[in-house]
Structure 1
Amino acid sequence: MAAPPLSTSTGRVVPHQDGCPTLIQLNGESCPSPRWPTTPPPSVDHPPTHLSVSVSPIPSSWTQSCTTIRRRDPCDLSALSGPCVVLYELVDFEGLSLTLHDAETDLAARAFANATASLMVSGAPWRCCAAPDCAGEAVEVFEEGCYPDLGSFSRLITAAWPVRQSLEDPAIRVYTDTGLAGTQRNFSREVNLAYSDVDNQVSSHEVQAGAWVLSSDGGNRGRKRLALQGQVLDYSAYGPGSFNDVLSHLCPLMQGRPVVVGVRLDCAQAQSTVGREVLDVLLVSNVSPLEQLLTVTHGVGSELGVSETFTFSRHTVLRQGVTFGVSVHHFHWGFFATLSSELRLDLEHGFQVEKGVTESWSRQVAREVEVRARVPPNATVIATILLQEKTYVVPVVLSVRLGFQVVEERANFTCVDRTCTTVEYEVQD
């Protein structure tokens, strides 16, 4: 005797509330086998991935300056490339100009001696002098920024040197006697010695780190000298003008804004984890004597999506607001193939990182999950809709330019993929 025809039940499911499963009761019949969840792809070893970086310089901002010459803030240095100084013939950056990327001992050779009325500095500080080879007393040190009017220092610059040393973690020790003898004091910040017990008593110094502007008067005024890392110096060695027993102010130079010049994703060291989360539970009860089929379309929206996060090292040299764009040129296929189409789409479009402002991105994805359950006579099928969450943590190496130095630091790029859904079925008699 032939079996009776099968009937098919269809419908839409309302998500369960308060943890209670949705109950569906059937009166009809059967169906093809449901699609069961697949296993995630195995992990693979991958070579490093190189990314192109487009730097978007931001206006500079400062909390201190080792010169009394007024600096305009904010200042847009985006047109300048690399560490340099641009000298202008007139105030407010007008007239003829000369850009220097390296030391110039006598600007007469460049037809720009005693011509500078304003200047811009990008990256490292520059020492500017009123005599060739910096042989005279008139010296100013300009940190990164825009100086629209040099005032009393206008039309004096005849030589310029960049400060190429690392300026991180400055430290200097001063002594009240020559030959690094007498009372000693250690400093790691800007100080006015008028508030100390060694004002106008220093006769020698030793620079452990950084570069320091030494001034004979408080407030970075008066006669000046530049003290560099590794330098041990008796002040009587400064020549006829000497500098013995006149030091009143010390100011450590600051590097310009750090610039990200390279990003490397090391896919070979990527770590991945997989977790599962229950989105909904359907109880399909068949009270008839016939096997039945349930076909249900379940809409899923707010729970699904992709996200990316860029995490900097706790000891990063990058400051808030530093911006760089990253676009993926190529991933090793083995790694890229493990990502969902939605996550690959995000990475192919690239992203813009702004430290302290934009370090993470997310996008929701809508999905409809089809539930197809074959329910035996007088039985109940539990259909559990699961979300598979995949997390990839990829080590990143950042190359950062600090003045004339390029340093590397570590970061992490984390991708979270919440777009894969599966349905698991269990029959209860």
Structure 2
Amino acid sequence: MALPSIQLSSVGGGEAGQAQLLCSAQPGVNKIVVYEHAEFEGLCREFTSDVPDLHELDFGDCICSLRVTGQPWIAYTAPKYEGDAYAFEEGEYRTVEKSRALSALRLVHHDLAEPQITLYEHPDYAGQSKVVTEETNLTYGYFNDRVSSHVVQRGVWLLYRHPARAGWYHVAWPGERLPDYKAELGFQNCLSHLRPLQAGRPAVSARILWDQRRVEDERDVLIDEIVGVNTTDLEQTFTTSSSREYVTTTLQSFRFSNATSLRVGLSFTLAVEASNVFTVEKGRSESSTRRDRVEVQLPAKIPPRTELTIHVVRKESTVSVPVQLTVTQNERTTTEPGEYRCVSGRTISTKYTMKPAPLPGGEHSPAAPCTPEP
């Protein structure tokens, strides 16, 4: 029999950093890390595949805390996946309900998307039926304590005797057809609550398809005007400073496809450029505003009898770019489309013109041509 991959270390009370490093979560990877004592202390082992008998690996009946990454695991109180079963979804468990009593571990490798179970009022799938696709407290309806058989179409379900996830529960696997609760579970007319197990976080990588970039809008916006007048016959130093600083903004947003499989709360990063890594969190921060400071150099001199006008212009561009998301979960990889959109005003330039300065008494000197920015 091939043994699962394991890793062994001793983690003392003063080595929390070592434990955290050993068990750091990597989205898309399925593993369970079990500890000899509560609060992730003592001997630590990591498993990435089923363990039918922990005693064969010298770790039976000693688990007091654990961490799960990726898909859920089912722990059993007897070897060969027998005895009472306990489900652990992705997360940290500083203590476990059955401390020092777990003897086998089983990875839930099934597809947990779109779960569905059909409940029947009588044995052998008879009487009234009820299709359930999400966590349900039956005490709020008419089917409480009436179920005697079921068929699982999709997902892995936990069936509880009492509401609010209380009491003994049965783990129902995909394709399971249980014709008689009384004969097989001693559970007839006792079901009050049920829920499907949730998949762990997928790993998401994003590739921006710059070659398909589309400019939706582009325009110049006047943000400042500076005027200097020299009425003398000599060249004069400009009365303002030689440069000015302006704040620019960049609005970034991300749009998921309507058929995305990603749940609210999942986050990933888009490397837009070396200095701009945009973090997207579905349902929370799918847009952000970035502010930068830009320094603009100004002319230093004004020619004789000249009025100099400087226009500071920000170029605003609205750009949309397709993004290819690669989603890895439960050892399966799929791709999904998305869209990165950016409204940027980071490009600032100056345009200046010169015209004859007014003479004393309101008269003007002969006209001179306007000079654009060099």
Offset from partner CA, 1:199-251 (integer Å, 9 cap, x none): 3321333444432101233343444222244x251342896445443322212
Which residue in 1 is equivalent to 2:127?
A: 182
User: Are positions 1:263 and 2:206 aligned together?
Assistant: yes
2:134 counterpart letter in structure 1: R
CA contact (8 A) 1:215 1:249 kept: yes
Which residue in 2 is equivalent to 1:211?
A: 156
Give 1:348 deviation, angstroms: 1.7
Which residue in 1 is equivalent to 2:95?
A: 149
Question: Residues 283 and 140 from structure 1, CA distance in 2 versus in 1: closer, same or farther, beyond 3 angstroms?
Answer: closer
CA distance in 1, matches of 2:316, 2:177: 62
Which residue in 2 is equivalent to 1:351?
A: 277
CA distance in 2, matches of 1:259, 1:128: 22
Which residue in 1 is equivalent to 2:146?
A: 201
1:110 to 30, 35, 57: 57
1:132 to 64, 72, 79: 79
After TM superposition, the score normalised by the length of structure 2 is: 0.70
Question: Residues 360 and 237 from structure 1, CA distance in 2 versus in 1: closer, same or farther, beyond 3 angstroms?
Answer: same
CA contact (8 A) 1:172 1:205 kept: yes
CA contact (8 A) 1:107 1:113 kept: yes
Which residue in 2 is equivalent to 1:366?
A: 295
CA contact (8 A) 2:248 2:292 kept: yes
User: Are positions 1:391 and 2:335 aligned together?
Assistant: no
Which residue in 2 is equivalent to 1:121?
A: 68
Question: SS in structure 1 opposite 2:134?
Answer: coil
Which residue in 2 is equivalent to 1:43?
A: none
CA contact (8 A) 1:308 1:362 kept: no
Offset from partner CA, 1:264-320 (integer Å, 9 cap, x none): 1111111123211123457899999x9x99996775433x53525242427662544
2:219 counterpart letter in structure 1: G
1:421 to 340, 349, 370: 349
Which has the bigger relative contact order, CA under 8 A and spacing at least 6? Answer: 1
Question: SS in structure 2 opposite 1:109?
Answer: helix
Give 1:166 deviation, angstroms: 3.7
Give 1:169 deviation, angstroms: 4.5
Question: SS in structure 1 opposite 2:191?
Answer: coil
1:252 counterpart letter in structure 2: P
Offset from partner CA, 1:365-385 (integer Å, 9 cap, x none): 12124499999x9x9997655
- Structure with a larger share of its residues in strand: 2
Question: SS in structure 2 opposite 1:92?
Answer: helix
Of residues 211-220 and 383-392 in structure 1, the stretch that sits farther from structure 2 once superposed is 383-392
Question: Residues 411 and 130 from structure 1, CA distance in 2 versus in 1: closer, same or farther, beyond 3 angstroms?
Answer: farther
1:353 counterpart letter in structure 2: T
CA distance in 1, matches of 2:346, 2:236: 26
Percent of residue pairs bearing the same amino acid type: 25
CA contact (8 A) 1:373 1:383 kept: no
1:367 counterpart letter in structure 2: V
Of residues 261-270 and 176-185 in structure 1, the stretch that sits farther from structure 2 once superposed is 176-185
Question: Residues 383 and 351 from structure 1, CA distance in 2 versus in 1: closer, same or farther, beyond 3 angstroms?
Answer: closer
CA distance in 2, matches of 1:381, 1:147: 71
Offset from partner CA, 1:156-199 (integer Å, 9 cap, x none): 22221222234344443311134443212233333333343223
CA distance in 1, matches of 2:226, 2:37: 78
CA distance in 1, matches of 2:312, 2:24: 55
After TM superposition, the score normalised by the length of structure 1 is: 0.62
Offset from partner CA, 1:14-62 (integer Å, 9 cap, x none): xxxxxxxxxxxxxxxxxxxxxxxxxxxxxxxxxxxxxxxxxxxxxxxxx
2:41 to 85, 90, 94: 94
Give 1:122 deviation, angstroms: 1.7
Question: Residues 275 and 126 from structure 1, CA distance in 2 versus in 1: closer, same or farther, beyond 3 angstroms?
Answer: same
Give 1:133 deviation, angstroms: 3.1
2:342 counterpart letter in structure 1: T
- Report the aligned-residue RMSD: 4.0
Give the 5 Å matches for 1:261-300: 261-272=204-215, 273-280=217-224, 299-300=243-244
CA contact (8 A) 2:314 2:346 kept: yes
CA distance in 2, matches of 1:175, 1:182: 6
